[in-house]
C-alpha cells in the first residue's frame, strides 16, 4: 500500500514537471508575470489626511486583488469613499497571463508604487509589460487618454521592408478589431513574408470599463505613435486606457491567439449596410447629410488650431506642477556648483530630486516682461503635450513670484553646439553626427506633420539640440514656438530667432511656415558636418565667406567633400554619403521656401544611398548677421516683421 502511494506521488510529480516544462517551452514563451517596467508616475499633489487615505488605499488594493483571485478575472476596479480622502483603484493584467502570474504582477506593482511614491501622494500609476495599476483620489474610470501617452521602441531592424509593411497591417487590424471584441483584447501571430519563418507577435488591450469609442480613440492614438517605431522589431505603446505591443520574439503562447478576421469583416458589413440604407433613404438625404458634415468639419478645423496663438489651443493640457522648495532642495538652493549654463533670460541648473532622479531646471526671471511670460506659457503648453524620442521631455514646471522654472529630463552630453568649439571640438564621430542629423529630422517631421497640431519651432540651432547618454538628439527650447493652422501655407508674424539660422523670408517679411525650420535645419546640418558655427565671423583663409557661402561655392565646383570637418578620420565615413548630406543641407537653405523639402522627405533622403536626379540644390539666400542690430546680451533677435537686414545672393551654378 505504501509503495502504491509512493508510485502515485512519483507519477504526480513527473506529470506536474512535464506540464510546467511543456508550458515553459511552448514556442519559447516562459510562463511568468512579465514585470519589465514600462513607466511609473507619482502625483505631486498631496492628500489632506494621509492616515485616512492610506487606510482607504489598502482596502482598495485588497479588494481588487481578491476579485482577481476569486473571480479568475484579469480586470478589477474598486472605490472606497470613507472620510474626506476617498480612493479609486484600477488593475488590469494581460489576458494571456495565468491568474497566478496576474496576481504576482499585481504584488510587484503594489510594492513598487508604494516604495517610489509618497504616502501622501493623491495618485499614481505603473505599467509593466504584464499589467497596469492605478489609483487616484478622484474618479478616473472613464478616462482613456492622457498627454503622457507614450511609446517605447527597442531593437532596431534596418532595411526590412517586409517587416515594416507586415507590422503596419497587423497593428491596423488590431486597432480595428479590438474595440469590437468582448473584453477589449486580442493577440495575433502573423508570418513575415520572405523572412525565413519570422513572425510578428502582437497584442492590444483596452481597460474593460471604457466605451467602445473610448477604446477605439485610445488605440488610434497608439497606432499613430507606433509610426516612429516601424524600423524596430519590438515596440510597445501605452496610455491610461490601452496597451499595444508587437515583437518578432514570442511573448505569449500560440494557444492565446484569436482569429480577428470576423471582427474586421464586421466593419465591412456595417459599412455596406450603411450604404444600402443611405440609398433607400434617397439621394437628397445623402446630399444634405454630407453638406452638414462638411460644415461641421470646417467649423471644427477652424477651432482646432488658432492663428499663431499657442495658448488658444484648448486641446493641449498642462504639465504637473513642482513645489518650489523641492526644486530649491534639488539644486542646493540654486548654487553655483549646480549651474550648468546660462541663457538670455535666466540660468540652467542640474538638480537631483528626492527620488534620486537627475533633472535639468531652467530658471527664468521674468521681471515685468509680458513677452517672457507668454514665452514661458507657450513652452509649458507645447512641450508637455509632445512625446517623441527626439523631443526633450518636460517633466513639470513651477512659479515663484516673478520667477518661473521648467523641469526637464537631464541630458548628460549637453548640446551639439558644445562640440563645435572649445575642448570638445572634433569629439563627435561620423556615426554620431549622422545619428544626430537623422534624429533632428525625425523630431521636426513629427511636430510639422505627425502631431495633432502643426508646430513651428522658430529657433532650431545647435545649442537647442541636446544629447542624451548615447548622443541621441533631443530638440529643446520651445519658448518661441508657434502653431500653424492646417489650412494656411504660412502666417505673418513678428520675427524672433537667432542670427545665422534665419530663413530670409521670415527675417525680411515675417512670413512664417514650417520651411523656416527646414532652413535652420539645413544650417545645423552644415555646421555638424563642417565642425564650424554658422554665426562665426569669417576667417582670413575663408576669403571672407560665411559657412553657407563656403558650402555653396565648394558645391558649385564639385569639391564639397573639402567642406568636411578636418578632425574627422576619412576612414570613418563614405565620401559619397557625406556629399549627399551636404547637398541635403543646401536643399534646405534654398532661396524659395517652396523648393525646400518637407522634413519627412528629408528623413527618407537621409536613409537612401543617393539623392534622386531631380533633387539638385538651387542658389541659396543668406541673411548676413553683420547687418543685424547689435544686442549686448544675446544673439537672439526679436523685432517687427520689417526687420532691417541685408541678404547675400550667392552665385548661381
Give the catalytic positions in this structure. Answer: 459
* SS3 category, 386: coil
CA atoms within 13 A on the CB side of 492: 6
Q: How many CB atoms lie within 10 A of CB 201?
A: 23
CA atoms within 13 A on the CB side of 425: 12
- Across the strands, what pairs with 342? 347
Q: How many CB atoms lie within 10 A of CB 186?
A: 24
Q: What is the DSSP letter of 339?
A: E
Alpha-helical segments (H) within 119-160: none
Under 8 Å between Cβ of 310 and 381: yes
Q: How far apart are CA 147 and CA 651, in angstroms?
A: 48
The three cell numbers of residue 527 are: 555646421
**First CA to last CA distance, the chain:** 101
Handedness of CA 353, 358, 359, 360 (dihedral sign): positive
- Which secondary structure element, helix H or strand E, spans residue 359, and what is its range? strand 358-365
Q: How many Å separate Cα 201 from the centre of its chain?
A: 23
Q: How many CB atoms lie within 10 A of CB 416?
A: 24
| Dihedral, 562, 564, 568, 574 alpha carbons, nearest 10 | -90
Nearest to 504 by CA among 587, 625, 632, 375: 625
Q: How many Å separate Cα 339 from the centre of its chain?
A: 28
* Burial degree of 269 (CB within 10 A; 0-12, 13-18, 19+): exposed
Q: How far apart are CA 146 and CA 222, in angstroms?
A: 12
**Beta strand 37-42 pairing with 131-136:** unpaired
Amino acid at each position: 500500500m505504501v509503495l502504491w502511494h509512493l508510485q502515485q506521488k512519483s507519477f504526480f510529480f513527473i506529470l506536474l514537471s512535464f506540464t510546467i516544462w511543456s508550458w515553459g517551452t511552448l514556442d519559447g514563451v516562459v510562463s511568468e508575470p512579465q514585470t519589465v517596467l514600462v513607466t511609473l508616475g507619482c502625483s505631486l499633489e498631496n492628500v489632506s489626511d494621509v492616515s485616512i487615505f492610506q487606510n482607504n488605499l489598502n482596502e482598495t488594493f485588497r479588494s481588487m486583488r481578491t476579485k482577481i483571485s476569486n473571480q479568475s478575472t484579469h480586470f478589477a476596479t474598486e472605490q472606497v469613499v470613507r472620510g474626506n480622502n476617498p480612493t479609486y483603484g484600477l488593475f488590469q493584467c494581460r489576458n494571456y497571463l495565468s491568474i497566478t502570474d496576474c496576481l504576482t504582477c499585481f504584488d510587484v506593482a503594489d510594492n513598487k508604487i508604494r516604495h517610489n511614491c509618497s504616502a501622501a501622494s493623491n495618485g499614481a500609476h505603473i505599467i509593466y509589460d504584464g499589467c497596469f495599476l492605478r489609483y487616484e483620489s478622484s474618479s478616473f474610470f472613464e478616462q482613456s487618454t492622457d498627454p503622457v501617452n507614450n511609446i517605447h521602441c527597442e531593437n532596431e531592424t534596418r532595411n526590412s521592408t517586409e517587416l515594416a509593411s507586415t507590422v503596419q497591417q497587423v497593428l491596423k487590424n488590431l486597432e480595428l478589431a479590438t474595440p469590437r471584441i468582448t473584453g477589449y483584447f486580442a493577440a495575433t501571430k502573423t508570418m513575415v513574408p520572405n523572412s525565413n519563418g519570422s513572425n510578428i507577435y502582437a497584442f492590444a488591450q483596452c481597460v474593460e470599463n471604457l466605451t467602445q469609442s473610448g477604446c477605439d480613440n485610445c488605440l488610434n492614438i497608439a497606432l499613430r505613435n507606433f509610426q516612429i517605431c516601424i524600423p524596430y522589431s519590438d515596440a510597445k505603446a501605452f496610455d491610461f486606457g490601452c496597451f499595444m505591443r508587437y515583437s518578432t520574439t514570442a511573448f505569449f503562447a500560440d494557444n492565446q491567439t484569436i482569429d480577428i478576421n470576423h471582427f474586421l469583416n464586421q466593419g465591412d458589413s456595417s459599412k455596406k449596410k450603411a450604404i444600402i440604407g443611405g440609398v433607400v433613404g434617397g439621394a437628397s438625404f445623402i446630399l444634405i447629410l454630407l453638406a452638414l458634415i462638411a460644415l461641421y468639419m470646417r467649423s471644427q478645423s477652424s477651432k482646432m488650431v488658432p492663428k499663431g496663438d499657442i495658448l488658444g489651443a484648448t486641446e493641449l493640457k498642462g504639465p504637473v506642477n513642482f513645489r518650489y522648495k523641492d526644486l530649491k532642495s534639488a539644486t542646493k538652493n540654486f548654487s553655483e556648483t549646480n549651474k550648468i549654463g546660462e541663457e538670455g533670460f535666466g540660468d540652467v541648473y542640474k538638480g537631483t530630486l528626492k527620488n534620486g532622479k537627475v533633472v535639468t531646471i531652467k530658471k527664468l526671471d521674468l521681471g515685468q516682461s509680458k513677452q517672457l511670460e507668454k514665452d514661458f506659457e507657450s513652452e509649458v503648453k507645447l512641450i508637455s503635450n509632445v512625446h517623441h524620442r527626439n523631443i526633450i521631455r518636460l517633466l513639470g514646471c513651477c512659479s515663484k513670484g516673478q520667477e518661473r522654472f521648467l523641469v526637464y529630463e537631464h541630458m548628460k552630453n549637453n548640446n551639439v553646439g558644445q562640440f563645435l568649439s572649445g575642448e570638445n571640438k572634433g569629439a563627435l564621430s561620423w556615426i554620431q553626427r549622422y545619428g544626430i542629423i537623422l534624429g533632428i529630422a525625425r523630431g521636426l517631421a513629427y511636430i510639422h506633420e505627425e502631431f495633432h497640431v502643426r508646430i513651428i519651432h522658430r529657433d532650431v540651432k545647435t545649442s537647442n539640440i541636446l544629447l542624451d547618454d548615447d548622443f541621441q538628439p533631443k530638440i529643446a527650447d520651445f519658448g518661441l514656438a508657434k502653431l500653424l493652422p492646417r489650412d494656411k501655407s504660412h502666417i505673418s508674424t513678428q520675427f524672433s530667432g537667432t542670427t545665422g539660422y534665419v530663413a530670409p523670408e521670415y527675417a525680411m517679411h515675417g512670413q512664417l511656415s514650417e520651411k523656416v525650420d527646414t532652413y535652420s535645419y539645413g544650417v545645423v546640418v552644415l555646421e555638424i558636418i563642417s565642425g564650424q558655427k554658422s554665426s562665426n565671423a569669417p576667417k582670413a583663409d575663408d576669403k571672407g565667406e560665411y559657412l553657407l557661402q563656403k558650402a555653396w561655392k565648394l558645391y558649385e565646383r564639385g569639391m564639397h567633400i573639402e567642406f568636411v570637418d578636418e578632425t574627422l578620420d576619412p576612414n570613418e565615413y563614405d565620401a559619397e554619403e557625406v556629399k549627399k548630406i551636404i547637398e541635403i543641407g543646401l536643399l534646405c537653405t534654398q532661396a524659395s521656401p517652396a523648393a525646400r523639402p518637407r522634413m519627412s522627405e528629408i528623413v527618407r533622403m537621409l536613409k537612401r544611398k543617393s539623392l534622386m536626379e531631380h533633387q539638385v540644390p538651387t542658389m541659396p539666400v543668406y541673411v548676413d548677421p553683420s547687418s543685424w542690430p547689435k544686442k549686448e546680451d544675446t544673439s537672439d533677435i526679436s523685432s517687427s516683421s520689417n526687420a532691417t537686414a541685408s541678404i547675400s545672393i550667392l552665385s548661381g551654378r
